[in-house]
Amino acid sequence: MDFKIQKKLKNSLGRAGILKTPHGEIETPAFVPVGTKASIKALTPEQVADLGAEIILSNTYHLYLQPGDETVAKAGGLHKFMNWQGPIMTDSGGFQVFSLGAAYGKEISKITTATKITDPSLLIPERFDDSDAPRLAKIGQDGVSFKSHLDGSVHYITPEKSIQIQHNLGADIIFAFDECTSPTEDLKYQEEVLERTHKWAERSLIEHKKLSGGCALFGIVQGGRDENLRKKSAKFIGSLEFDGYGIGGSFAKEDMSTAVKWVNEILPEERPRHLLGIGEPEDLFMGIENGVDLFDCVAPTRIARNGSLYTKNGKVNIMNAQYREDFSKIEEDCGCYTCKNFTKAYVAHLFHGKEMLAATLASIHNLYFIVNLVKKIRQSIFEDTFFEFKKEFFKNYFK
Amino acid sequence: MDFKIQKKLKNSLGRAGILKTPHGEIETPAFVPVGTKASIKALTPEQVADLGAEIILSNTYHLYLQPGDETVAKAGGLHKFMNWQGPIMTDSGGFQVFSLGAAYGKEISKITTATKITDPSLLIPERFDDSDAPRLAKIGQDGVSFKSHLDGSVHYITPEKSIQIQHNLGADIIFAFDECTSPTEDLKYQEEVLERTHKWAERSLIEHKKLSGGCALFGIVQGGRDENLRKKSAKFIGSLEFDGYGIGGSFAKEDMSTAVKWVNEILPEERPRHLLGIGEPEDLFMGIENGVDLFDCVAPTRIARNGSLYTKNGKVNIMNAQYREDFSKIEEDCGCYTCKNFTKAYVAHLFHGKEMLAATLASIHNLYFIVNLVKKIRQSIFEDTFFEFKKEFFKNYFK
C-alpha cells in the first residue's frame, strides 16, 4: 500500500494525500461509509459510489457470525460478495468486544452520549439501558470469548483468529485486534488493557505476515483520555511495521481533539491514520486539523433513517410539520441524487408513510453531505483556506 | 388517449397494442407496478424504469389521506411529486371502500385466499383476521363515509369527490368510483351494489367532463361471479363514453377466467381493458388470452419483501438454508439488476441480516420477472406463438 502526502496544512498536523490500494485510490482526507453487514443500509453499491464514496468499511464481528467469513471467502471475498468495486476496510471486532464486555450495560457506549460510534446494531440504546445485564464477552490474556447476539452460540476470538477472519473477508485494509479502553475503569486497569492491546497488536502483525494476501494492516492506538497512556500507545504502535494506524477509543467529545493531537504528533507522519467511528461535521474538521486521514461512522445513515438530515445550517428533522408542504429541496445547492430529484415535502411524505424509500433518499443525502464535506475540506487544504472554510462552516452550521 | 390494436391472437380475445398517454406510450399487454403511496416500495423511480416498467399505479385512498391530494396538486401533481416521468394511473378508492366496508374482517379480502389484490397496507392479514371488528366504512346511495386508518378522522367520498381527488393527483389514467361486489352477499344485495356502481360510473363521467385536464377515465365493470350481473355490467359500463375499462371484483381464482371472458366479449374492442389487482403469472396468461391489456398487482413487491422470488421454475424462498452458500444467480439468464450483480447467497444474507437492501434487490427481480413476462407474452402474440409459450412456461413453472 502506498500513501503519498500531497500538501500539508500550515501550523497544524493536517495534510491531504493519496492512498493506493489494490482496489483503487483514495483521496485523503476521506470519509468511509459503514456497511456493517456487507451493505450500506438501504443503498445499492452504485448509489454509494455515485454519492462520491471511494471506500467503505464492514464489520468483522457481524460478518464472522453471519454469513460467516468462510462463506464470504467462498463467494470470492467481500468485493465480489457485495459487488463493491472500490477499496474496503474491515475493523477487527475489537470494538464489539468492548461493547459486549466492559461497556455492556453502561452509558459510555450509547450513541446518544458517546462519541465513539462504530456499530449500529450493537449500539441501539435498548441494548445498553439495562446495567444489570450480564456481559456477553469475557476477556482473557489470549483472546475473547463471547456469545453471539444472534443465536447465543459461544465463540473465541484471538488476535490470530481476527486476522484470519479478516483475510478470509478479503478487504484492502484490515485492523489489528484491540481492546477499547473503557474511560470508566481505573488507571491500573486501563494500563493492563493497553498492555494487552499492544501484545495483541504484535500478534496480529505476526499472523498477518504469515498469511499471504495483498491487504494492508493498520494497528490501533488506544489509551483512553489519559495523556501518558495515549502517548505510550502511539509510540509503541507507531514503532511497529503497520501500514497505517487506527485511533480507537470511547472518549468524551471535549477530550477527542487533545487525544488525537497527542497521538498524531507521535505516529510516523508518512503513514495514513484513521479515526475510528467518528463522523460528525465538527469532528471531521477537528480530526483533519490534527492529522487524521480517514474517518468512518454510522451516524450519517443511522440518523438519516430517523429523518435527521444534515444541511449547512445544521441538522433538520424532516418529520417536522413545517416540511409537509415545503416544495423546496433539502438543500437548494446540494448535488446529491435526492436533492436533484425530490422535495422536502416528498421526503417528509415518505417518512410519514413509513416508506422504505425514505431511508434510501435520506441516507444518500446525509452520506453525500459528509463525504463531500470532507472532499471540500481536502480542497481547502490545497487552497490554503482550511481555517477560513472551517470558520465559515461553523458559523452557519451552529448558528 | 389513443389506443391502437396492432395484432390479435387467433381464436381468442387476446391482442397486443399501443396506448398513448400524455406522459408516453405503453406497449400492451403491460404490467403496472403499484406504488400505493407514490412510491414503489424500496425502489427509486429510476430502478422502476430500468426494470422495464412503462407505467405505475398509485392509490387514491392513501394519497387523499396522506399527504392529501391538494398537497400533491401544489407539488405540481404526482409525476413531479414522486419524480416518475412516465404514465401514472390512480385507482378510485372504490376497492378500499370494499376493504373497509363489506369485506372488513372477512376472509374474502385476504391476500392469502383472495385473488383480488390491490392494496398492500390494508390487506395485511392482521387487519382482516378479527371478524368482529367494526366496519370502518359506511356506504350510502350518494357515497361512502369512512374513518381514516391513520388518525380516525371521518371522511365522506362521493363519485364526484373521487374524481376531483384524482384530478388533483394528476395521473394520466384515472378510474370511476365503484363499489366492489362482495361474493359472500346474496344476489339481491349484489344487484343493488351493481346498480349503485353503475350510477356512480355515470356521475364519475359527468364530473370528469366538468373538470378540465388531459387525463383519461376508465369505468369499472363489477358483478362478482354471477354471469348475468357481469354481462349486465359490461353492457352498461361499455355503453358509456369511458376511455377504457377496469374489470374489478373479488373472485375465486377458478372463476376469474370465465368472468373476464364474459366481460371482454361485450366491452368495446377498440378500448383498453385493465384487470384490477391481478398479477400472478398464470393469471397474466389467462387475462391476456381473454382480452386484457393492463394488469396491476402488489404481489411482486409484497412477496419479494418476504423473500419469495419468481423464477421460471416456480417461486423460491431465498430464506431457505440451501441458498446460504449458493453462489449462483437467482436466475442465470435473468437480465435484472439483481441477477446481473448479486448471488443467491448475498441476497439470502441480506434477508437473514434484515438489511433493507434485501427488499430492494428482491423487488427489482420480481418486478422485472413479471413486467418482462408480460413483454414476452406480448412478443408471442406478434409471433403467433402465444399458446406454445404458455404451455412451455406452465410446464416449467408448475413442475
pLDDT at B127: 28
| Interface list for A 296-325 with B (CB within 8 A) | 324-325
Q: Is residue B311 part of a domain?
A: no
Residues A362 and A263 grouped into a single domain: no
A113 shares a domain with A59:
yes
Measuring CA to CA, how many Å separate B181 from each of B97, B98, B192, B219, B251?
A: 11, 8, 10, 15, 9
* B83/A346 Cβ within 8 A: yes
Name, in order, each residue with C-beta under 8 angstroms of B379's C-beta and a sequence gap of 6 or more.
Answer: none
Torsions phi, psi for B244 (to 5 deg): -175, 180
Q: Is residue B351 part of a domain?
A: no
A256 and A327 part of one domain: no
The answer to whether the CB atoms of B357 and A39 lie below 8 A apart is: yes
Q: Is residue B284, in this structure, part of any structural domain at all? A: yes
A194 and A310: one domain?
no
CB within 8 Å: B346 and A42: no
B153: CATH: 3.20.20.105
Domain stop point among A281, A297, A313: A297
Q: How far is A10 from chain B (nearest CA, A)?
A: 43
Residues A373 and A317 in one domain: yes
Beta-carbon separation of B41 and A343 below 8 A:
no
B74 within some domain:
yes
Q: In this predicted structure, what is the pLDDT of residue B150?
A: 84
Residue A260 sits in the same domain as residue A304: no
> Which residue from A324, A325, A356 is facing B359, i.e. has the nearest CB?
A356
- Please report whether residue B168 resides in a domain: yes
Banded model confidence at residue B221, pLDDT cuts 50, 70, 90: very high
Kindly list the averaged pLDDT for each block of 10 residues, start to end, along chain A of length 399.
95 97 98 97 98 97 96 98 98 77 48 35 33 63 85 90 97 94 78 94 97 94 91 98 92 84 97 95 97 97 97 97 98 98 98 97 98 98 98 96
Q: Is the pLDDT of residue B124 over 50?
A: no
Residues A192 and A320 in one domain: no
Longest dimension (CA), chain A: 61
Range of the domain at A260: 2-297
How far, rounded to the nearest angstrom, does the alpha carbon of residue A242 sit from its chain's CA centroid? 19
Comparing B6 with B183, the larger pLDDT belongs to B6
Q: What per-residue confidence (pLDDT) applies to A132?
A: 42
Q: Which of A79, A322, A356 should be substituted to probe chain B, the one whose Cβ sees the most B Cβ atoms within 10 Å?
A: A356
Region B15-22: mean pLDDT is 98
- Name residues whose C-beta falls within 8 Å of residue A385's C-beta, 6 or more positions apart in sequence: none
Residue type, A373: L
- The percentage of residues in chain B with a pLDDT greater than 70, rounded to a whole number, is 89
The answer to whether residue B91 is catalytic is yes
- Interacting residues of A289 by C-beta distance below 8 A, sequence separation 6+: A9, A12, A13, A14, A257, A386, A390
% of chain B at pLDDT higher than 90: 75
Q: How far apart are CA B315 and CA B322, in angstroms?
A: 15
Question: Is A40:A31 a contact under the CB 8 Å cutoff?
Answer: no
A296 is catalytic: yes
Task: Tell me the pLDDT of chain B averaged across its residues.
Answer: 90
Residues A212 and A310 in one domain: no
Q: Model pTM?
A: 0.92
Which chain B residues are closer than 8 Å to A84 by Cβ?
Answer: none
A349 in contact with chain B, both atoms CB, cutoff 8 A = yes
Residue tagged active-site, from A69, A91, A243, A283: A91
How high is the pLDDT of residue A121?
Answer: 38
| Residue A244, φ and ψ in degrees, nearest 5 | -175, 180
Of B43, B348, B349, the CB nearest to A357: B43
Residues A134 and A266 occupy one common structural domain = yes
Distance from CA of A276 to the nearest CA of B (A): 23
- Most A CBs within 10 Å, among B349, B352, B354, B365, to test the A interface: B349
Residue in chain A closest to B40 (alpha carbons) equals A357
Residues of A in contact with B351 (CB under 8 A): none
Report CB contact under 8 Å: A42, B356.
Answer: yes
pLDDT at A186: 83
Residues A162 and A182 in one domain: yes
B158 inside domain: yes
Write the residue in A43, A327, A345 that is nearest to B357 by C-beta. A43
Q: Would you call A353 an interface residue with chain B, using a CB distance cutoff of 8 Å?
A: yes
Q: Do B74 and A341 touch (CB under 8 A)?
A: no
Residues A280 and A201 occupy one common structural domain: yes
A351 and A312 housed in the same domain: yes
Least confident range from A141-155, A283-297, B207-221, B254-268: namely: A141-155
To 10 degrees, the CA torsion angle through A46, A30, A303, A337?
-40
Out of A249, A281, A297, a domain closes at A297
CA nearest to A193, candidates A4, A201, A390? A201
Please check whether residue B341 lies inside any domain of the structure: no
pLDDT category of residue B37 using cuts at 50, 70 and 90: very high
Q: What average pLDDT does range B350-357 have in this prediction? A: 97
- Own/partner pairs, B124-129, CB within 8 angstroms, 24+ separation: B128/B103, B128/B104, B129/B105
Which residue does chain B place closest to A340, by CA atoms?
Answer: B83
Question: How many contacts does A have with B, using Cβ atoms within 8 A?
Answer: 104
Phi, psi torsion values for B308, nearest 5 degrees? -95, 120
Q: Does B74 touch chain A (CB under 8 A)?
A: yes
pLDDT digits 0-9 by tens, B131-181? 344 567 788 888 888 888 788 888 899 999 999 999 999 999 999 999 886
Question: Would you say residue B228 lies in a domain?
Answer: yes
Q: Which of B119, B186, B296, B384 is catalytic?
A: B296
CA distance B239 to B198: 11
Chain A environment of B119 (Cβ under 8 Å): none
User: A81 in contact with B at a CB cutoff of 8 Å?
Assistant: yes
Cβ contact A352–B42 (<8 Å): no
Nearest of A50, A39, A84 to residue A341 by alpha carbon: A50
Q: What pLDDT score does A342 carry?
A: 98
Q: A378 touching B, CB under 8 A?
A: no
The partner residues of A157 in beta bridges, in order of sequence, read A144
Number of domains forming the structure of chain B: 1
